[in-house]
């Protein structure tokens, strides 16, 4: 027989039954409580005390709870641990008879959390995936900003995985069982088109895209349990418009995250002088998706050049944007219904400076800045309303009053007057009644049972007339107590003034929110222009401050860079100490083979070329004196050795997987950067693989390739395959190596490995022994080398007697009989 729980617990169990995959936070008074297994899980995750509750059955039900006013931090922690959270609120007044009605008001999932902080310079996306015969369709949205995108991807799993990785999806909605590492998967299928969001779909016509976008929109609507009026028009992302870079490449070039998952030392860190969160997010998007369309690249550079040339206007624009809050997310909060009065003040302060921003852009007198200025809409009606209505320093809560200015609403002013001047009114009323009735002893009193009353002693009772509208309320020994309609009305006002004030202020605030909600998309449009202008001023400031130049482009696969620098490293070590380097590659010899010592600057040189290309194709100026570049369609790198221990892959396996992407998918317009390929395996294996790769690139792909190696034998390929040899130079003074960090023409004749080992302070005996062994290997003619203390055999291949004899034979001078006898002799020697 089923256990009979209390009515409240039965209510909980019914809600839990409908939300099995979520932790249910159940509102009870000032707490959100969790029960049964949810309580056990949450108590461990949130470090809460696990208690029990009597719920109408013999055994107490496991329970834990958190205060409602600080719930957001706890929800965030549960989400970070990969849980969904269903928030159950009280839907009826607890004061009424019977059990309080409760229901789920929102399901918070890893991809839909809205309480994220403002001013974050990265997006948090939730995605939905459609798997079709020939392609994947991925829709993704940042619910906090309303940005909504859709992209079609060729049906190759590595392309899909790369897209999911680079977007950093928090959650992926799928209609079948699919698994991706580090992504929260939600199974859901409702692709019904929602007519009320028709405008959101106005840019897309493809039925597959509409289907997948509908699934994502419906999922967000179903979990959030409210209208999402801030969702922006869906933008189709065409992969062919942007440089393709796999996740290995983005990671090794440290575009937005360094090896420690931080932003320090990344390309974003280098270029980010944005003054708004919107600008910071847009810059990150640009860095992760450099352009391929030269016309669009040049347009960005034109605007940057204008801002470089107009220092005063640029600094003014920077100061203006510094005063603009994260209005993109604030607009989302308005539509979502979780905006507070302080947020509205921030919106007003931000929109107030927009006319001045528009003025500055128009003063630059250029078609592109003029076009941006024209998109800055006049929203003074919003700022006027907020300024008139909201107090200067409003409280964070919107249901406790203190939000609305005096003079904004007549009824509210009256309630405030009543609350603040109730005693004064009663005193004046008492005086007025004495004069009206002629009863000098009349007085106003109050008690809890009858409220306010007029007390008249029995000697004055004959003076009371009908027209006074006195109603007898209570008789006492020597007096009668009366009320009048006016006093009764005032009593109601005085006693309920506070409650009414708070309710009225909330009502006014909600009306304002609904009024501003109609302009949410206009605020988002303004935010979009602010973001663009912010990125332009940031790139202009960095170019101006760091001495970057505008690159030119060619379609002959020529790479010509004079005194190129690694933008990040020169900032870290100071520009004066940085050694710049040139690069010149022609179409007929696109492969650069780089030799030289470890720590000599080979990897830095290759990285700086890749970063230079990326900076150029996001529209930025670049760190050099002159740059003429092709427009690349893809960048592939294999830099640095790291075992992928989690999936059990060795350095060499990782190296081969990364190299495979380049060899399979690169085109003639791609850039390949390979650092020390083949070093993860045996020397001859590694050398063979490296040579085969170079040959394949030279004959089949023929794209610009930078290939560093310690296999000096590979430098001999230059004549046959038109490979250009360069080397990182170094000089040895005595036993000490000095790195010059200069890339010079020609091959390096040694690796300086022992010198580098000395720098690393290896023991002197090890260094001395290494020198002896190296000499023996180079001479290749000693079978055993004896150290001073120990007989230590070195296995070297000594020239054999057979080889010596063969070297002395002239085959053309031998008769057939001589040749046969010579062969017999050689066999004996063997």
Instruction: From 574, 553, 557, select the one nearest 565 (Cα to Cα).
Output: 574
Scanning 323-404, the segments in alpha helix (DSSP H) are 327-336, 341-352, 354-363, 367-374, 380-389
How many other C-beta atoms can be found within 10 angstroms of the C-beta atom of residue 475? 10
Q: How far is 495 from 422, CA to CA, in rounded Å?
A: 9
- CA distances to 333, 464, 510, 715 from 514, rounded to whole Å, are 12, 53, 6, 71
Is 603 marked as a binding-site residue?
yes
3-state SS, 749-813, equals: CCCCHHHHHHHCCCCHHHHHHHHHHHHHHHHCCCCCEECCCCEECCCCCCCCHHHHHHHHCCHHH
For 448-550, list the strands marked E by DSSP.
451-457, 471-476, 479-483
Collapsed DSSP state (helix, strand, coil) of residue 111: coil
Instruction: From 333, 499, 313, select the one nearest 418 (Cα to Cα).
Output: 499
146 contacts 332 by C-beta, under 8 angstroms: yes
What residues contact residue 81 under an 8 Å CB cut-off, 6+ apart? 45
Please give the helix or strand (H or E) that residue 537 lies within, else none: helix 520-546
Any idea how long the chain is? 830
What residues contact residue 457 under an 8 Å CB cut-off, 6+ apart? 441, 478, 479
How many other C-beta atoms can be found within 10 angstroms of the C-beta atom of residue 825? 12
Collapsed DSSP state (helix, strand, coil) of residue 666: coil
Instruction: From 285, 202, 233, select the one nearest 521 (Cα to Cα).
Output: 233
For 645-680, letters b (16+ CB in 10 Å) and e give eeeeeeebebbbebbebbbebbeeebbbbbbbbbbb
Collapsed DSSP state (helix, strand, coil) of residue 397: coil
* 523 Cα distance to chain centroid: 22
Instruction: From 714, 759, 719, select the one nearest 597 (Cα to Cα).
Output: 759
Q: How far is 123 from 280, CA to CA, in rounded Å?
A: 10
Q: Are strands 184-187 and 171-174 parallel, antiparallel or unpaired?
A: parallel
Q: Are strands 479-483 and 552-554 parallel, antiparallel or unpaired?
A: unpaired
Q: How far is 600 from 730, CA to CA, in rounded Å?
A: 7
Is 602 marked as a binding-site residue?
yes
Collapsed DSSP state (helix, strand, coil) of residue 384: helix
HSE (CB half, 13 Å, CA atoms) of 555?
3
Torsion of CA 472, 475, 481, 482, to 10 degrees: 0
Is 597 marked as a binding-site residue?
yes
Is 485 marked as a binding-site residue?
no
Q: Is the dihedral of CA 213, 219, 220, 221 positive or negative?
A: positive
Both tokens of 61, joined, read 């039900």
Please give the helix or strand (H or E) that residue 61 lies within, else none: strand 61-67
687 contacts 714 by C-beta, under 8 angstroms: yes
Q: How far is 773 from 137, CA to CA, in rounded Å?
A: 59
Q: How far is 690 from 719, CA to CA, in rounded Å?
A: 17
Tokens 């069982």 belong to 177
Is 601 marked as a binding-site residue?
yes
Tokens 């929203």 belong to 379
Q: How far is 378 from 480, CA to CA, in rounded Å?
A: 65
697 contacts 663 by C-beta, under 8 angstroms: yes
Q: What is the DSSP letter of 714?
A: G
Q: Are strands 451-457 and 479-483 parallel, antiparallel or unpaired?
A: antiparallel
Is 598 marked as a binding-site residue?
yes
Both tokens of 257, joined, read 């995250």
| Residue ranges at the known binding site | 596-603
Mark the binding-site residues for ATP, compressed into ranges.
Answer: 596-603
């Amino acid at each position: 027989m089923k256990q009979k729980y209390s009515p409240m617990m039965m209510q909980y169990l019914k809600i839990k039954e409908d939300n099995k995959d979520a932790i249910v936070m159940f509102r009870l008074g000032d707490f959100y409580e969790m029960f049964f297994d949810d309580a056990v899980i949450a108590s461990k995750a949130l470090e809460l005390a696990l208690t029990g509750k009597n719920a109408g059955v013999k055994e107490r039900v496991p329970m834990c709870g958190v205060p409602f006013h600080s719930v957001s931090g706890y929800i965030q922690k549960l989400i970070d641990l990969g849980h969904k959270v269903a928030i159950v609120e009280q839907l009826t007044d607890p004061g009424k008879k019977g059990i309080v009605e409760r229901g789920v008001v929102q399901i918070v999932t890893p991809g839909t959390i809205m309480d994220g902080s403002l001013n974050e310079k990265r997006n948090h996306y939730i995605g939905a995936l459609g798997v079709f015969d020939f392609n994947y369709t991925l829709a993704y949205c940042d619910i906090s900003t309303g940005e909504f995108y859709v992209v079609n991807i060729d049906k190759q799993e590595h392309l899909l995985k790369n897209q999911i990785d680079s977007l950093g999806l928090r959650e992926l909605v799928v209609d079948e069982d699919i698994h991706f590492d580090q992504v929260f998967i939600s199974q859901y299928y409702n692709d019904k088109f929602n007519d009320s969001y028709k405008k959101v779909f106005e840019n897309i016509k493809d039925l597959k895209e509409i289907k997948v976008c509908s699934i994502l929109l419906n999922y967000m609507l179903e979990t959030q349990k409210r209208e999402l009026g801030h969702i922006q028009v869906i933008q189709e992302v065409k992969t062919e418009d942007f440089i393709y870079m796999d996740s290995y490449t983005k990671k090794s070039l440290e575009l937005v995250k360094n090896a420690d998952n931080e932003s320090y030392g990344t390309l974003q860190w280098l270029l980010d002088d944005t003054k708004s969160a919107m600008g910071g997010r847009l810059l990150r998007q640009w860095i992760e998706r450099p352009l391929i369309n030269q016309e669009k690249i040049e347009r960005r550079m034109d605007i940057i050049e204008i801002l470089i040339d107009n220092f005063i206007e640029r600094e003014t624009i920077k100061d203006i944007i510094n005063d603009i809050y994260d209005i993109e997310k604030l607009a989302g909060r308005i539509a979502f219904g979780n905006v507070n009065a302080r947020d509205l003040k921030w919106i007003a302060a931000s929109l107030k400076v927009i006319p001045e921003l528009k003025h500055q852009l128009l003063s630059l007198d250029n078609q592109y800045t003029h076009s941006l200025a024209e998109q800055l809409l006049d929203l003074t009606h919003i700022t006027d309303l907020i300024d008139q209505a909201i107090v200067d320093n409003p409280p964070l809560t919107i249901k406790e009053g203190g939000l609305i200015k005096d003079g904004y609403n007549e009824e509210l002013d009256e309630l405030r007057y009543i609350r603040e001047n109730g005693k004064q009114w009663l005193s004046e009323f008492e005086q007025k009644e004495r004069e009206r009735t002629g009863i000098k002893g009349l007085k106003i009193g109050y008690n809890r049972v009858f409220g306010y009353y007029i007390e008249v002693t029995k000697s004055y009772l004959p003076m009371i007339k009908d027209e006074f509208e006195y109603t007898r309320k209570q008789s006492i020994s020597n007096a009668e107590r009366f009320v009048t309609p006016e006093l009764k009305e005032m009593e109601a006002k005085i006693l309920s003034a506070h409650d009414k004030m708070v309710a009225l202020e909330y009502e006014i605030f909600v009306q304002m929110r609904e009024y501003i909600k109609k302009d949410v998309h206009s605020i988002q449009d303004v935010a979009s222009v602010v973001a663009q202008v912010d990125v332009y001023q940031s790139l202009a400031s960095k170019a101006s401050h760091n001495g970057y130049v505008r690159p030119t482009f060619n379609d002959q696969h020529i790479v010509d860079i004079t005194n190129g620098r690694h933008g990040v490293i020169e900032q870290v070590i100071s520009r004066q100490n940085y050694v710049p380097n040139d690069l010149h590659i022609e179409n007929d010899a696109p492969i650069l083979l780089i030799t030289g010592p470890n720590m000599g600057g080979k990897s830095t040189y290759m990285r700086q070329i890749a970063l230079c290309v990326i900076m150029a194709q996001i529209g930025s100026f670049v760190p050099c004196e002159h740059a003429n570049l092709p427009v690349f369609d893809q960048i592939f790198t294999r830099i640095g050795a790291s075992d992928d221990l989690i999936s059990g892959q060795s350095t060499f396996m990782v190296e081969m997987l990364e190299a495979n992407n380049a060899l399979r998918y690169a085109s003639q317009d791609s850039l390949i950067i390979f650092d020390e390929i083949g070093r993860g395996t045996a020397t001859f294996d590694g050398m063979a693989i490296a040579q085969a790769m170079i040959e394949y690139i030279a004959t089949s792909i023929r794209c610009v390739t930078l290939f560093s190696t310690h296999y000096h034998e590979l430098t001999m390929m230059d004549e046959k395959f038109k490979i250009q040899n360069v080397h990182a130079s170094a000089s040895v003074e005595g036993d000490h190596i000095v790195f010059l960090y200069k890339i010079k023409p020609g091959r390096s004749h040694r690796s300086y490995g022992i010198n580098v080992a000395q720098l690393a302070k290896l023991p002197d005996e090890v260094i001395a022994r290494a020198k002896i062994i190296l000499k023996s290997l180079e001479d290749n003619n000693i079978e055993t080398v004896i150290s001073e203390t120990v007989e230590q055999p070195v296995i070297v291949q000594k020239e054999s007697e057979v080889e010596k004899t063969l070297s002395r034979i002239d085959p053309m001078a031998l008769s057939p009989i001589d040749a046969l006898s010579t062969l017999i002799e050689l066999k004996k020697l063997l």
